[in-house]
Amino acid sequence: MDRVSAFTDDALGEHDTIGLVEELHAGHVGVREVVEAAIARIERVDPDLGAMAYRAFDRARVESRDPRGGFFAGVPTVVKDNVDVAGMPTREGADAWIGRPAAVDGDFARMYLATGLIPLGKSQLSEYGFSAAAEHPRLGAVRSPWSPSHVAGGSSAGAAALVASGALPIAHGNDGGGSIRIPASINGLVGLKPTRGRLAQARLTREMPVPIVSDGVLTRSVRDTAAFYREAERVYRPLSLPPIGDLTRPGRNRLRVGLSTTGGSPASAQLRELTLKTAVLLEELGHHVEEVEPQVSEQLADDFLLYWGFLALVVMRTGRRTHGRTWDPTRLDHLTHGLARHAGRRLHRLPGAIRRLRRASADSAAFYERYDVALTPTLAHSTPLVGYLDPSQSYDLLIDRLTSWVSFTPLQNVTGDPAISLPLQSTSTGLPAGMMFAAAAGREGVLLELAYELEEARPFARIGAPVGG
Protein backbone atom coordinates (compact mmCIF):
# COMPACT_ATOMS: atom_id res chain seq x y z
CA MET A 1 0.00 0.00 0.00
CA ASP A 2 1.70 3.21 -1.20
CA ARG A 3 1.43 6.18 1.12
CA VAL A 4 1.76 9.85 0.25
CA SER A 5 4.09 11.55 2.70
CA ALA A 6 5.24 15.16 2.66
CA PHE A 7 7.49 14.76 5.70
CA THR A 8 11.06 15.75 4.97
CA ASP A 9 14.04 17.51 6.56
CA ASP A 10 12.91 21.12 6.12
CA ALA A 11 11.68 23.90 8.39
CA LEU A 12 8.47 22.00 9.18
CA GLY A 13 10.30 18.77 9.99
CA GLU A 14 8.08 16.29 11.77
CA HIS A 15 6.68 18.90 14.16
CA ASP A 16 3.07 19.15 15.18
CA THR A 17 1.67 22.67 15.58
CA ILE A 18 2.95 23.18 19.13
CA GLY A 19 6.36 21.85 18.18
CA LEU A 20 6.50 24.28 15.27
CA VAL A 21 5.46 27.20 17.50
CA GLU A 22 8.28 26.30 19.88
CA GLU A 23 10.76 26.26 16.99
CA LEU A 24 9.53 29.65 15.80
CA HIS A 25 9.64 31.19 19.27
CA ALA A 26 13.15 29.85 19.85
CA GLY A 27 14.30 31.33 16.53
CA HIS A 28 15.39 27.95 15.17
CA VAL A 29 13.27 28.56 12.05
CA GLY A 30 11.74 31.68 10.53
CA VAL A 31 8.20 32.33 9.39
CA ARG A 32 9.18 32.84 5.76
CA GLU A 33 11.15 29.59 5.83
CA VAL A 34 8.19 27.71 7.33
CA VAL A 35 5.72 29.09 4.79
CA GLU A 36 8.00 28.19 1.86
CA ALA A 37 8.39 24.68 3.26
CA ALA A 38 4.61 24.26 3.50
CA ILE A 39 4.12 25.52 -0.06
CA ALA A 40 6.76 23.11 -1.34
CA ARG A 41 5.14 20.21 0.52
CA ILE A 42 1.68 21.01 -0.84
CA GLU A 43 3.00 21.25 -4.39
CA ARG A 44 4.71 17.90 -3.96
CA VAL A 45 1.76 15.90 -2.61
CA ASP A 46 -1.34 17.62 -3.97
CA PRO A 47 -1.15 16.05 -7.43
CA ASP A 48 -1.73 12.71 -5.67
CA LEU A 49 -4.25 13.97 -3.12
CA GLY A 50 -6.41 16.60 -4.87
CA ALA A 51 -6.72 18.45 -1.56
CA MET A 52 -6.41 22.10 -2.60
CA ALA A 53 -9.39 24.06 -3.89
CA TYR A 54 -7.62 27.42 -4.18
CA ARG A 55 -3.98 28.46 -3.83
CA ALA A 56 -3.02 31.76 -2.23
CA PHE A 57 0.70 31.10 -2.02
CA ASP A 58 1.86 34.57 -3.06
CA ARG A 59 -0.42 36.17 -0.50
CA ALA A 60 1.00 33.86 2.18
CA ARG A 61 4.54 34.82 1.16
CA VAL A 62 3.67 38.48 1.60
CA GLU A 63 2.06 37.86 4.99
CA SER A 64 5.06 35.83 6.14
CA ARG A 65 7.21 38.97 5.96
CA ASP A 66 5.10 40.65 8.65
CA PRO A 67 2.79 38.06 10.24
CA ARG A 68 -0.03 39.14 12.49
CA GLY A 69 0.32 38.46 16.19
CA GLY A 70 -1.13 35.54 18.13
CA PHE A 71 0.11 32.31 19.66
CA PHE A 72 0.18 30.58 16.26
CA ALA A 73 1.89 33.52 14.52
CA GLY A 74 3.54 32.22 11.36
CA VAL A 75 2.02 28.71 11.36
CA PRO A 76 0.72 27.81 7.88
CA THR A 77 -2.82 26.48 7.42
CA VAL A 78 -5.71 26.28 4.97
CA VAL A 79 -9.37 27.23 5.36
CA LYS A 80 -12.10 24.90 4.11
CA ASP A 81 -13.68 26.24 0.93
CA ASN A 82 -17.11 26.87 2.43
CA VAL A 83 -15.96 29.73 4.68
CA ASP A 84 -15.26 33.22 3.36
CA VAL A 85 -11.70 34.55 3.46
CA ALA A 86 -11.18 38.06 2.11
CA GLY A 87 -9.64 38.01 -1.35
CA MET A 88 -10.37 34.32 -1.97
CA PRO A 89 -13.40 32.83 -3.76
CA THR A 90 -15.71 30.48 -1.88
CA ARG A 91 -16.81 27.64 -4.16
CA GLU A 92 -18.34 25.08 -1.75
CA GLY A 93 -16.75 22.08 -3.48
CA ALA A 94 -18.80 22.78 -6.62
CA ASP A 95 -18.22 24.13 -10.12
CA ALA A 96 -21.78 25.32 -10.76
CA TRP A 97 -20.85 29.02 -10.81
CA ILE A 98 -17.84 31.29 -11.21
CA GLY A 99 -16.55 32.19 -7.77
CA ARG A 100 -15.64 35.77 -6.90
CA PRO A 101 -13.20 36.83 -4.16
CA ALA A 102 -14.92 37.50 -0.84
CA ALA A 103 -14.89 41.14 0.24
CA VAL A 104 -14.26 40.41 3.92
CA ASP A 105 -13.41 37.49 6.18
CA GLY A 106 -16.37 35.50 7.46
CA ASP A 107 -16.98 35.44 11.21
CA PHE A 108 -15.15 32.16 11.71
CA ALA A 109 -12.20 33.05 9.47
CA ARG A 110 -11.77 36.33 11.34
CA MET A 111 -11.54 34.47 14.64
CA TYR A 112 -9.40 31.65 13.20
CA LEU A 113 -6.81 33.91 11.61
CA ALA A 114 -6.69 36.19 14.67
CA THR A 115 -4.76 33.39 16.39
CA GLY A 116 -1.85 34.12 14.02
CA LEU A 117 -2.33 31.33 11.48
CA ILE A 118 -1.31 32.13 7.89
CA PRO A 119 -3.71 30.83 5.21
CA LEU A 120 -2.09 29.27 2.14
CA GLY A 121 -5.44 28.90 0.40
CA LYS A 122 -8.64 26.86 0.55
CA SER A 123 -9.06 23.10 1.00
CA GLN A 124 -11.40 20.96 -1.09
CA LEU A 125 -14.66 19.48 0.17
CA SER A 126 -17.54 17.44 -1.20
CA GLU A 127 -20.18 19.49 -3.02
CA TYR A 128 -21.75 21.75 -0.38
CA GLY A 129 -20.44 19.27 2.20
CA PHE A 130 -23.36 16.92 1.56
CA SER A 131 -21.31 13.74 1.03
CA ALA A 132 -18.95 11.97 3.40
CA ALA A 133 -16.51 11.53 0.50
CA ALA A 134 -15.16 14.38 -1.63
CA GLU A 135 -15.57 12.90 -5.08
CA HIS A 136 -16.66 15.13 -7.94
CA PRO A 137 -17.34 14.23 -11.58
CA ARG A 138 -15.21 17.12 -12.88
CA LEU A 139 -13.11 18.36 -9.95
CA GLY A 140 -11.96 14.84 -9.09
CA ALA A 141 -11.64 12.99 -5.80
CA VAL A 142 -9.74 13.92 -2.64
CA ARG A 143 -7.67 10.87 -1.75
CA SER A 144 -6.32 9.57 1.53
CA PRO A 145 -2.55 9.87 1.92
CA TRP A 146 -2.64 6.52 3.73
CA SER A 147 -3.83 4.90 0.49
CA PRO A 148 -4.62 7.09 -2.54
CA SER A 149 -6.93 4.43 -3.91
CA HIS A 150 -9.24 5.20 -0.96
CA VAL A 151 -11.28 8.33 -0.28
CA ALA A 152 -10.12 10.90 2.27
CA GLY A 153 -13.63 11.16 3.69
CA GLY A 154 -15.64 14.31 3.88
CA SER A 155 -16.64 16.79 3.85
CA SER A 156 -13.40 18.29 5.28
CA ALA A 157 -11.41 15.98 3.04
CA GLY A 158 -8.74 18.30 1.72
CA ALA A 159 -7.91 19.62 5.18
CA ALA A 160 -7.46 16.11 6.56
CA ALA A 161 -5.38 14.89 3.62
CA LEU A 162 -2.97 17.82 3.94
CA VAL A 163 -2.50 17.44 7.70
CA ALA A 164 -2.17 13.65 7.63
CA SER A 165 0.36 13.73 4.79
CA GLY A 166 2.50 16.21 6.71
CA ALA A 167 2.01 19.11 4.29
CA LEU A 168 0.53 21.22 7.11
CA PRO A 169 0.37 20.82 10.90
CA ILE A 170 -3.19 22.14 11.33
CA ALA A 171 -6.18 22.92 9.10
CA HIS A 172 -9.71 24.21 9.44
CA GLY A 173 -12.68 21.92 9.03
CA ASN A 174 -16.36 22.08 9.84
CA ASP A 175 -18.85 19.43 10.78
CA GLY A 176 -22.54 19.27 9.86
CA GLY A 177 -22.99 15.49 10.00
CA GLY A 178 -19.53 14.24 10.91
CA SER A 179 -17.43 16.27 8.49
CA ILE A 180 -14.51 16.81 10.90
CA ARG A 181 -14.72 13.43 12.63
CA ILE A 182 -15.14 11.31 9.46
CA PRO A 183 -11.95 12.50 7.71
CA ALA A 184 -10.14 12.43 11.06
CA SER A 185 -11.04 8.75 11.39
CA ILE A 186 -9.99 7.90 7.84
CA ASN A 187 -6.74 9.85 7.92
CA GLY A 188 -5.52 9.02 11.42
CA LEU A 189 -6.10 12.45 12.95
CA VAL A 190 -7.62 14.12 15.99
CA GLY A 191 -10.96 15.68 15.05
CA LEU A 192 -13.10 17.46 17.63
CA LYS A 193 -16.57 18.74 16.81
CA PRO A 194 -17.14 21.30 19.56
CA THR A 195 -20.31 22.18 21.42
CA ARG A 196 -22.77 24.23 19.39
CA GLY A 197 -21.88 27.91 19.74
CA ARG A 198 -18.35 27.29 21.03
CA LEU A 199 -16.70 29.13 18.11
CA ALA A 200 -17.67 32.18 16.06
CA GLN A 201 -19.82 31.32 13.03
CA ALA A 202 -21.61 33.02 10.17
CA ARG A 203 -25.12 34.34 10.77
CA LEU A 204 -26.71 31.93 8.29
CA THR A 205 -25.15 29.00 10.12
CA ARG A 206 -26.31 30.28 13.50
CA GLU A 207 -29.86 30.87 12.28
CA MET A 208 -30.53 27.45 10.74
CA PRO A 209 -33.76 25.85 12.09
CA VAL A 210 -31.51 23.20 13.67
CA PRO A 211 -27.95 24.65 13.81
CA ILE A 212 -26.11 21.44 12.96
CA VAL A 213 -22.79 22.89 11.71
CA SER A 214 -19.78 23.50 13.96
CA ASP A 215 -16.33 24.69 12.91
CA GLY A 216 -13.06 23.34 14.26
CA VAL A 217 -9.68 21.95 13.27
CA LEU A 218 -7.92 18.76 12.23
CA THR A 219 -4.56 18.01 13.85
CA ARG A 220 -2.07 15.18 14.42
CA SER A 221 -1.94 15.54 18.21
CA VAL A 222 -4.27 16.13 21.14
CA ARG A 223 -2.16 19.02 22.39
CA ASP A 224 -2.59 20.84 19.08
CA THR A 225 -6.37 20.59 19.26
CA ALA A 226 -6.41 21.64 22.93
CA ALA A 227 -4.15 24.61 22.21
CA PHE A 228 -6.35 25.75 19.33
CA TYR A 229 -9.43 25.88 21.57
CA ARG A 230 -7.47 27.69 24.27
CA GLU A 231 -6.34 30.33 21.79
CA ALA A 232 -9.75 30.57 20.09
CA GLU A 233 -11.26 31.22 23.52
CA ARG A 234 -8.97 34.21 23.92
CA VAL A 235 -10.42 35.68 20.73
CA TYR A 236 -14.06 34.57 21.06
CA ARG A 237 -15.56 33.59 24.42
CA PRO A 238 -19.16 32.28 24.39
CA LEU A 239 -20.65 33.30 27.73
CA SER A 240 -23.32 30.58 27.53
CA LEU A 241 -20.70 27.81 27.82
CA PRO A 242 -18.14 26.95 30.49
CA PRO A 243 -14.59 27.77 29.35
CA ILE A 244 -12.32 24.97 28.15
CA GLY A 245 -9.18 26.69 29.42
CA ASP A 246 -5.60 25.50 29.08
CA LEU A 247 -5.65 21.70 29.11
CA THR A 248 -2.23 20.07 28.85
CA ARG A 249 -2.51 16.64 30.46
CA PRO A 250 -4.84 13.70 31.20
CA GLY A 251 -7.61 14.07 33.72
CA ARG A 252 -7.68 12.27 37.06
CA ASN A 253 -11.35 11.36 37.22
CA ARG A 254 -12.36 7.84 36.19
CA LEU A 255 -15.29 7.99 33.81
CA ARG A 256 -18.55 6.12 33.26
CA VAL A 257 -18.54 5.17 29.59
CA GLY A 258 -21.58 4.02 27.63
CA LEU A 259 -20.60 1.91 24.61
CA SER A 260 -22.71 1.24 21.52
CA THR A 261 -21.91 -0.26 18.13
CA THR A 262 -25.41 0.04 16.70
CA GLY A 263 -27.26 3.13 15.56
CA GLY A 264 -29.04 4.10 12.38
CA SER A 265 -26.98 1.21 10.94
CA PRO A 266 -24.88 -1.27 12.92
CA ALA A 267 -21.10 -1.36 12.79
CA SER A 268 -19.42 -4.09 10.78
CA ALA A 269 -17.97 -7.04 12.67
CA GLN A 270 -14.49 -5.57 12.31
CA LEU A 271 -15.46 -2.12 13.61
CA ARG A 272 -17.37 -3.65 16.51
CA GLU A 273 -14.30 -5.68 17.43
CA LEU A 274 -12.08 -2.58 17.31
CA THR A 275 -14.54 -0.66 19.49
CA LEU A 276 -14.56 -3.46 22.06
CA LYS A 277 -10.74 -3.40 22.03
CA THR A 278 -10.95 0.30 22.83
CA ALA A 279 -13.32 -0.50 25.69
CA VAL A 280 -10.76 -2.95 27.09
CA LEU A 281 -8.11 -0.22 26.97
CA LEU A 282 -10.42 2.14 28.84
CA GLU A 283 -11.05 -0.46 31.52
CA GLU A 284 -7.32 -1.12 31.86
CA LEU A 285 -6.96 2.61 32.56
CA GLY A 286 -9.58 2.37 35.31
CA HIS A 287 -12.68 3.65 33.54
CA HIS A 288 -16.00 1.84 33.80
CA VAL A 289 -17.50 0.74 30.46
CA GLU A 290 -20.88 -0.82 29.85
CA GLU A 291 -22.82 -1.51 26.67
CA VAL A 292 -25.93 0.63 26.24
CA GLU A 293 -28.89 0.94 23.91
CA PRO A 294 -28.09 3.01 20.81
CA GLN A 295 -28.85 6.73 21.03
CA VAL A 296 -29.58 6.94 17.29
CA SER A 297 -33.08 5.68 16.46
CA GLU A 298 -34.41 4.90 13.00
CA GLN A 299 -36.74 7.91 13.37
CA LEU A 300 -33.84 10.25 14.14
CA ALA A 301 -31.92 8.95 11.13
CA ASP A 302 -34.93 9.55 8.87
CA ASP A 303 -35.51 13.02 10.31
CA PHE A 304 -31.87 13.97 9.84
CA LEU A 305 -31.92 12.81 6.22
CA LEU A 306 -35.03 14.90 5.56
CA TYR A 307 -33.41 17.94 7.16
CA TRP A 308 -30.19 17.32 5.19
CA GLY A 309 -32.30 17.18 2.03
CA PHE A 310 -34.04 20.41 3.02
CA LEU A 311 -30.65 22.14 3.09
CA ALA A 312 -29.98 20.87 -0.44
CA LEU A 313 -33.40 22.14 -1.52
CA VAL A 314 -32.57 25.59 -0.15
CA VAL A 315 -29.31 25.53 -2.12
CA MET A 316 -31.18 24.68 -5.32
CA ARG A 317 -33.83 27.34 -4.85
CA THR A 318 -31.52 30.19 -3.78
CA GLY A 319 -28.47 29.41 -5.90
CA ARG A 320 -28.98 32.08 -8.53
CA ARG A 321 -29.65 34.78 -5.93
CA THR A 322 -26.58 33.70 -3.96
CA HIS A 323 -24.11 33.10 -6.78
CA GLY A 324 -25.35 35.35 -9.58
CA ARG A 325 -26.06 34.82 -13.24
CA THR A 326 -23.26 32.27 -13.75
CA TRP A 327 -25.21 29.81 -11.56
CA ASP A 328 -25.88 26.56 -13.45
CA PRO A 329 -27.69 23.94 -11.33
CA THR A 330 -27.31 21.32 -14.06
CA ARG A 331 -23.65 21.09 -13.01
CA LEU A 332 -24.53 20.02 -9.47
CA ASP A 333 -24.03 16.33 -8.74
CA HIS A 334 -26.62 13.58 -8.38
CA LEU A 335 -26.43 13.62 -4.59
CA THR A 336 -27.32 17.32 -4.30
CA HIS A 337 -30.19 16.91 -6.77
CA GLY A 338 -31.38 13.72 -5.11
CA LEU A 339 -31.37 15.19 -1.61
CA ALA A 340 -33.35 18.18 -2.85
CA ARG A 341 -35.93 15.89 -4.50
CA HIS A 342 -36.15 13.79 -1.33
CA ALA A 343 -37.02 16.86 0.73
CA GLY A 344 -39.28 18.41 -1.91
CA ARG A 345 -41.52 15.34 -1.92
CA ARG A 346 -41.72 15.31 1.90
CA LEU A 347 -41.94 18.98 2.86
CA HIS A 348 -45.16 18.31 4.77
CA ARG A 349 -43.11 16.15 7.15
CA LEU A 350 -40.40 18.74 7.75
CA PRO A 351 -42.00 20.65 10.68
CA GLY A 352 -42.42 17.41 12.63
CA ALA A 353 -38.87 16.34 11.82
CA ILE A 354 -37.50 19.66 13.05
CA ARG A 355 -39.48 19.40 16.29
CA ARG A 356 -38.15 15.90 16.95
CA LEU A 357 -34.57 16.89 16.10
CA ARG A 358 -34.77 19.79 18.55
CA ARG A 359 -36.05 17.45 21.28
CA ALA A 360 -33.00 15.18 20.87
CA SER A 361 -30.96 17.52 23.09
CA ALA A 362 -33.17 16.69 26.08
CA ASP A 363 -32.77 12.94 25.47
CA SER A 364 -29.02 13.42 25.24
CA ALA A 365 -28.90 15.38 28.50
CA ALA A 366 -30.70 12.50 30.22
CA PHE A 367 -28.12 10.05 28.86
CA TYR A 368 -25.27 12.13 30.28
CA GLU A 369 -26.83 12.11 33.71
CA ARG A 370 -25.95 8.40 33.75
CA TYR A 371 -22.71 8.43 31.75
CA ASP A 372 -19.79 10.83 31.41
CA VAL A 373 -18.84 9.75 27.90
CA ALA A 374 -20.36 7.79 25.01
CA LEU A 375 -18.12 5.51 22.93
CA THR A 376 -18.90 4.36 19.38
CA PRO A 377 -16.86 3.74 16.25
CA THR A 378 -16.63 6.92 14.23
CA LEU A 379 -17.74 5.06 11.09
CA ALA A 380 -19.75 1.88 10.63
CA HIS A 381 -17.33 0.15 8.27
CA SER A 382 -13.87 0.55 6.79
CA THR A 383 -12.83 3.25 4.32
CA PRO A 384 -14.25 2.72 0.81
CA LEU A 385 -12.30 2.91 -2.41
CA VAL A 386 -12.50 5.95 -4.66
CA GLY A 387 -15.59 5.44 -6.83
CA TYR A 388 -17.76 3.79 -4.19
CA LEU A 389 -19.43 7.14 -3.45
CA ASP A 390 -18.96 8.68 -6.88
CA PRO A 391 -21.80 11.26 -7.11
CA SER A 392 -22.44 10.49 -10.77
CA GLN A 393 -24.12 7.27 -9.61
CA SER A 394 -27.84 7.09 -8.88
CA TYR A 395 -29.10 8.90 -5.81
CA ASP A 396 -30.75 5.77 -4.38
CA LEU A 397 -27.48 3.84 -4.47
CA LEU A 398 -25.49 6.77 -3.08
CA ILE A 399 -27.80 7.48 -0.17
CA ASP A 400 -27.99 3.82 0.80
CA ARG A 401 -24.19 3.58 0.83
CA LEU A 402 -23.78 6.84 2.73
CA THR A 403 -26.33 6.20 5.46
CA SER A 404 -25.04 2.69 6.14
CA TRP A 405 -21.48 4.03 6.51
CA VAL A 406 -22.15 7.30 8.35
CA SER A 407 -24.60 6.24 11.03
CA PHE A 408 -22.92 7.37 14.26
CA THR A 409 -21.69 10.94 13.70
CA PRO A 410 -24.89 12.94 12.92
CA LEU A 411 -26.29 12.59 16.46
CA GLN A 412 -24.03 15.25 17.96
CA ASN A 413 -24.81 17.65 15.13
CA VAL A 414 -28.46 17.33 16.10
CA THR A 415 -27.95 17.62 19.86
CA GLY A 416 -25.14 20.17 19.73
CA ASP A 417 -22.95 18.05 22.02
CA PRO A 418 -19.18 17.79 21.53
CA ALA A 419 -17.59 14.65 20.08
CA ILE A 420 -14.05 13.71 19.15
CA SER A 421 -12.60 11.06 16.82
CA LEU A 422 -9.25 9.63 17.92
CA PRO A 423 -6.95 7.45 15.75
CA LEU A 424 -6.76 4.56 18.19
CA GLN A 425 -7.28 1.58 15.89
CA SER A 426 -6.45 0.32 12.41
CA THR A 427 -8.24 -2.09 10.12
CA SER A 428 -6.96 -5.45 8.88
CA THR A 429 -5.61 -3.64 5.79
CA GLY A 430 -3.61 -1.17 7.89
CA LEU A 431 -5.86 1.86 7.38
CA PRO A 432 -6.75 4.12 10.33
CA ALA A 433 -10.06 3.56 12.13
CA GLY A 434 -11.17 6.30 14.49
CA MET A 435 -12.98 5.78 17.76
CA MET A 436 -15.53 8.44 18.70
CA PHE A 437 -16.12 9.80 22.19
CA ALA A 438 -18.97 12.18 22.96
CA ALA A 439 -19.92 14.12 26.09
CA ALA A 440 -22.58 16.50 27.35
CA ALA A 441 -22.80 20.03 25.97
CA GLY A 442 -19.96 22.23 27.20
CA ARG A 443 -17.77 19.32 28.31
CA GLU A 444 -15.03 19.41 25.69
CA GLY A 445 -12.61 19.39 28.61
CA VAL A 446 -13.66 15.86 29.58
CA LEU A 447 -13.04 14.68 26.01
CA LEU A 448 -9.65 16.39 25.70
CA GLU A 449 -8.41 15.05 29.04
CA LEU A 450 -9.49 11.55 28.06
CA ALA A 451 -7.87 12.03 24.64
CA TYR A 452 -4.56 12.95 26.30
CA GLU A 453 -4.74 9.78 28.39
CA LEU A 454 -5.51 7.55 25.42
CA GLU A 455 -2.82 9.15 23.25
CA GLU A 456 -0.30 8.52 26.02
CA ALA A 457 -1.43 4.92 26.47
CA ARG A 458 -1.55 4.15 22.73
CA PRO A 459 0.47 6.69 20.71
CA PHE A 460 -1.11 7.57 17.40
CA ALA A 461 0.36 6.18 14.19
CA ARG A 462 1.73 8.63 11.63
CA ILE A 463 2.31 8.24 7.92
CA GLY A 464 6.01 8.94 7.79
CA ALA A 465 9.04 10.35 9.50
CA PRO A 466 11.39 12.95 8.03
CA VAL A 467 14.21 11.80 5.82
CA GLY A 468 17.71 13.16 5.56
CA GLY A 469 19.47 15.32 8.11
- Residue at 302 is within a domain: yes
Please state, as a whole number, how many other Cβ atoms lie within 10 Å of the Cβ of residue 369.
7
Is the pLDDT assigned to residue 465 strictly greater than 50?
no
* pLDDT for position 202: 87
Identified catalytic residue from 5, 80, 165, 265: 80
CATH number for position 23: 3.90.1300.10
* Poorest-pLDDT segment among 38-52, 54-68, 294-308, 415-429: 294-308
> 52-61: per-residue pLDDT in tens?
999 999 999 9
Can you give the pLDDT at residue 295?
Answer: 86
- Label residue 58 exposed, middle or buried (CB < 10 Å: 0-12, 13-18, 19+): exposed
Query: Which strands, in side-by-side order, build the sheet including 432-438?
Result: 170-175, 214-219, 190-193, 419-426, 432-438, 373-377, 256-259, 288-291
Look at residue 9 and tell me if it is in a domain: no
Mean per-residue pLDDT over the chain, rounded: 96
Full residue range of the structural domain in which residue 396 is found: 17-457
Per-residue pLDDT reduced to its tens digit, 300-356: 999 999 999 999 999 999 999 999 999 999 999 999 999 999 999 999 999 999 999
In a domain, residue 10? The reply is: no
Is the full-model pTM beyond 0.95?
yes
pLDDT score, position 65: 97
Alpha-carbon gap, residue 200 to 38, rounded angstroms: 27
Identify whether 38 is part of a domain.
Answer: yes
Residue 4 lies in a domain: no
Task: Assess whether pLDDT exceeds 60 at residue 468.
Answer: no
Residue-wise pLDDT tens digits, 103-120 = 999 999 999 999 999 999
> Is the pLDDT at 296 greater than 90, yes or no?
no
Does some domain include residue 467?
Answer: no
Q: How far apart are CA 318 and CA 307, in angstroms?
A: 17
Q: Please tell me the predicted confidence (pLDDT) of residue 1.
A: 64
pLDDT at 467 over 70: no
For residue range 240-249, list pLDDT tens digits in order.
999 999 999 9
**Would you state the pLDDT for residue 401?**
98
Catalytic residue among 179, 221, 268, 364: 179
326-352 burial, b if ≥16 CB within 10 A, otherwise e? ebebeebbbbbbbbbebbeeeeeebee
Which run of H or E residues covers position 161?
helix 157-165
Does 408 map to a domain?
Answer: yes
Q: How many domains is the chain partitioned into structurally?
A: 1
Residue 469 has pLDDT above 70, yes or no: no
Whether 279 is covered by a domain: the verdict is yes
Radius of gyration of the chain (CA): 20
% of the chain residues with pLDDT over 90: 95
pLDDT tens digits, 129-153: 999 999 999 999 999 999 999 999 9
- 64, 144, 147, 155: which one is catalytic? 155
Is 179 known to be catalytic? yes
